[in-house]
Amino acid sequence: MVKRFICHILLLAGVVLLLLPGCKVGPNYKRPDPVFDTTAYYRFDPLKGDTITNVKWWELFQDEQLHDLIRIALEENQNLLIATSRIEEARAFLGFTKADLYPNITVSGQATRNNFVQSINQQVDVRNTFFIAPALSWEIDFWGKLRRANEAAVAEMLATEYTRRAIQVSLISDVAALYFQLLDYDKRLEIARRTFESRQQASAIIEDRFSEGYTAQIDLDQARIQEYIAEGAIPVYERLVAQTENALSILLGRAPGSVARGLDLYNQPIPPPIPAGMPADLLARRPDVLEAEQLMIAQNARVGIATGAMLPSINLSAFIGTASNDFSQLFSSGTAVWSFGGGIISPLFNFGKNRKRVEIEKQRTIQAQYAYQATVIQSIREVEDALISINTYDRQLNARIKQRNSAQSAKELSRERYNGGVTSYLEVLENDRAFFQAELEAAETQQLYLRSYISLYKALGGGWITEEEALQETPVQED
């Protein structure tokens, strides 16, 4: 009898599991129509080809020290470690939710001592009763409510994975950007110190000439003003260097401290040009876009969960066990007992609460769709901004370099003219100021030009590929 009972239960469970997949209340997910031309290329992409950004793009900068810093950050950054832990949390929650789809099997036992009086004058009969039985309870997911909950949990788990990838992309980009910012401040500190030494020497010469009566007091004062300007710039850049090192150390997951450098700013190679592809590529590559879509899928599934709450719940319960008045005979000659039944619970009247819950989830789904579309639009804008930045900083840097070279030539010529008595010291000072400013601006523009490439790689969603994806990518060839 026990075997027949178990077979019946398993047969019923199999039939239910076969029939259920075709029935799920609530809307099935459909990706919203794109808010852009899926056949268009970016406005400022000169190459107009398929992108291949899924490479370790930071290696294109060919600075081994930068490579080491990024590797350390990917291993030790606390925010990335938190995101990794959240993936494991989401995976555990998925298993927790998925368990609701299957029968819940428990075991219960009972031991009682009581009496049963047949009449007022009858002698009391004290009895012991022992009982043990495995029990099964199962909410049949007839409407697909539990499967919608599982669908939402799957999407949320994938969203946490894409969140981690988005953090990884941002982390790599931030480390590279701060590294180039640090090299920029190093260069500007070097320029300020060199300019200060040069102006100290110039002030000493003017002071000697003033002492001998060859020059006026105004020349000496103007020389000292320029000397003090350069001197005041040194602590500014020392402060910026230290603060940037501290910020970079935090990204590495370490206490603030000094950071090793590799190539200096002017020796950093410019990466080869990489086509941006098409905006439609972002839908399959940008981790924040993929994350937003998974959150939209999860929210869409919650409409089904809320809809299922308006419908009856069907439950099955069963147990089979043994009972005896003697514990020593419970497992040997006890009486077999069993029970099988089903029940239904249905909401009847709750003043429209369940309908409002469905409406709430529908509105949240609409909000998730708008959030997804906004993420897509913002991602396209970031690519466009990065492309125009690369184009314009390239031309701007060339102009800054020519400006610096011309300013250096003018400074040297004006110094010779002044020493020959052809011009006033005011001309020397003006050209010296112009050269100092041109050097600082050239260093800053070089840094911004390098960072524009970082912005492009980040905007395209590159840098988080798996080993399998890496094997499928074509390596980028340098010109």
**Cβ neighbours around 169 below 10 Å, total:** 21
- State the average pLDDT over residues 271-281: 82
Judged by average pLDDT, the poorest of 6-15, 130-139, 408-417, 442-451 is: 6-15
pLDDT above 80 (res 47): no
- State the average pLDDT over residues 79-93: 89
* Confidence label for 16 from pLDDT (cuts 50, 70 and 90): low
The pTM of this model reads 0.83
* Confidence label for 117 from pLDDT (cuts 50, 70 and 90): low
Q: What pLDDT, on a 0 to 100 scale, did the predictor assign at position 2?
A: 46
The domains located in the chain, with CATH, are 1-22+103-117+124-140+313-345 (2.20.200.10), 31-101+143-311+350-472 (1.20.1600.10)
* Confidence label for 265 from pLDDT (cuts 50, 70 and 90): very high
Q: How many CA atoms lie within 13 A of 159 on its CB side?
A: 18
Q: How many CA atoms lie within 13 A of 372 on its CB side?
A: 25
Owner of token pair 């268009």: 40
**With the CA atoms of 121, 123, 128 and 131 taken in that order, what torsion angle do they form, in degrees rounded to the nearest 10?**
-40
Q: What pLDDT, on a 0 to 100 scale, did the predictor assign at position 66?
A: 96
Percent of the chain past pLDDT 90, that is, above it, reads 51
380-402 residue pLDDT tens = 999 999 999 999 999 999 999 99
- State the average pLDDT over residues 287-291: 94
Q: What pLDDT, on a 0 to 100 scale, did the predictor assign at position 20?
A: 53
Can you give the chain as a three-state secondary structure string? Answer: CHHHHHHHHHHHHHHHHHHHHHCCCCCCCCCCCCCCCCCCCCCCCCCCCCCCCCCCHHHHHCCHHHHHHHHHHHHHCHHHHHHHHHHHHHHHHHHHHHHHHCCEEEEEEEEEEEECCCCCCCCCCEEEEEEEEEEEEEEECCCCHHHHHHHHHHHHHHHHHHHHHHHHHHHHHHHHHHHHHHHHHHHHHHHHHHHHHHHHHHHHHHHHHHHCCCCCHHHHHHHHHHHHHHHHHHHHHHHHHHHHHHHHHHHCCCCCCCCCCCCCHHHCCCCCCCCCCCHHHHHHHCHHHHHHHHHHHHHHHHHHHHHHCCCCEEEEEEEEEEEECCHHHCCCCCEEEEEEEEEEECCCCCCCHHHHHHHHHHHHHHHHHHHHHHHHHHHHHHHHHHHHHHHHHHHHHHHHHHHHHHHHHHHHHHHHHHHCCCCCHHHHHHHHHHHHHHHHHHHHHHHHHHHHHHHHHHHHCCCCCCHHHHHHCCCCCCC
Q: What pLDDT, on a 0 to 100 scale, did the predictor assign at position 443?
A: 97
Q: What pLDDT, on a 0 to 100 scale, did the predictor assign at position 479?
A: 37
Q: What pLDDT, on a 0 to 100 scale, did the predictor assign at position 414?
A: 93
Q: What pLDDT, on a 0 to 100 scale, did the predictor assign at position 475?
A: 42
Cα(399)–Cα(396) distance, integer angstroms: 5
* Confidence label for 106 from pLDDT (cuts 50, 70 and 90): confident
pLDDT above 90 (res 64): yes
- State the average pLDDT over residues 89-106: 86
pLDDT above 50 (res 1): no
Q: What pLDDT, on a 0 to 100 scale, did the predictor assign at position 476?
A: 41
* Confidence label for 348 from pLDDT (cuts 50, 70 and 90): confident
Owner of token pair 């930071």: 58
Q: What pLDDT, on a 0 to 100 scale, did the predictor assign at position 133?
A: 83
**With the CA atoms of 88, 90, 91 and 93 taken in that order, what torsion angle do they form, in degrees rounded to the nearest 10?**
120
316-347 residue pLDDT tens = 888 888 888 877 777 777 788 888 888 888 88
Q: What pLDDT, on a 0 to 100 scale, did the predictor assign at position 442?
A: 97
- State the average pLDDT over residues 8-36: 69
- State the average pLDDT over residues 139-155: 89
* Confidence label for 374 from pLDDT (cuts 50, 70 and 90): very high
Judged by average pLDDT, the poorest of 2-11, 21-30, 162-171 is: 2-11
Judged by average pLDDT, the poorest of 204-218, 264-278, 333-347, 380-394 is: 333-347
Burial class (CB in 10 A: 0-12, 13-18, 19+), 275: middle
- State the average pLDDT over residues 401-412: 96
Cα(243)–Cα(235) distance, integer angstroms: 12
Average pLDDT in the chain: 86
CB 210 within 8 A of CB 219: yes
* Confidence label for 352 from pLDDT (cuts 50, 70 and 90): confident
Cα(408)–Cα(2) distance, integer angstroms: 99
CB 457 within 8 A of CB 463: yes
* Confidence label for 57 from pLDDT (cuts 50, 70 and 90): confident
- State the average pLDDT over residues 243-261: 95
**Cβ neighbours around 188 below 10 Å, total:** 24
Q: What pLDDT, on a 0 to 100 scale, did the predictor assign at position 474?
A: 42
pLDDT above 70 (res 6): no
Burial class (CB in 10 A: 0-12, 13-18, 19+), 136: middle
